Amino acid sequence: MVNELMQDDWDLEKILRQQDELKVKLLHAQSVVAECKAGLADLERRLERRAVSPSIDECQRNSAAINSIRKRRPRTSSSVDDPIDQNAGAAFSSQSWDR
């Protein structure tokens, strides 16, 4: 296109037509760039939301995994707040104190 401009340097009508074509192409390119920027910004927002809060599916999977582990393992540790089993055998009896 630049070569054509150099050859037909004095053809004003052709120069104006090419100028209009280039303006249209520029406007189209600017529109495409704006659309790409908007799409990129939307993707970045989605990624930020996903990074900040895990997805619901991920939370449900983690919760299900934790629950299945809890159900498989019997509780072995005891707490001070646990009730005392009155029927359990004692380590020593009152008779052992008398000896």
The string of pLDDT tens digits covering residues 23-69 is 999 999 999 999 999 999 999 999 998 887 665 566 667 777 777 77
C-alpha span between 58 and 64 (Å, rounded): 10
* Confidence band of 78 (pLDDT split at 50, 70, 90): low
For residue 39, the model assigns a pLDDT of 96
For residue 65, the model assigns a pLDDT of 73
Pure H helices in the chain: 2-7, 12-52, 56-72, 94-98
Mean pLDDT of the chain: 76
Write the single-letter amino acid at 32.
V
User: Which comes out higher in pLDDT, residue 79 or 68?
Assistant: 68
Write the single-letter amino acid at 82.
D
pLDDT at 3 over 80: no
